[in-house]
Structure 1
Amino acid sequence: MKLITSMIALTAITTSTFSFADEKSANQDLVGNYACAFTQYSGDETYAYPDFRCKITEKDGVLTLEKLSGSQRIKGVVTPTASGFEFEGTYFCPWGDCTHDVYGEFQTQKKGEFAGSVHRSTDPSDFTDVDLRRTK
Structure 2
Amino acid sequence: MDSWVWWLVVAVGLGIPLVITAMPEFGMFAVGALAAAGTAGLGAGVVAQFIVFVAVSVALLLVVRPIAYRHLKQGPPVRMGIEALKGASAVVQERVDDQGGRIKLNGEIWSARALNPGTVYEPGQQVDVIEIEGATALVV
Q: Same fold (TM over 0.5)?
A: no
Instruction: Name the larger-Rg structure.
Output: 2
Higher helix share: 2
TM-score, scaled to structure 2: 0.29
TM-score, scaled to structure 1: 0.30
Q: Which has the higher contact order (CA 8 A, sep 6+)?
A: 1
Higher strand share: 1
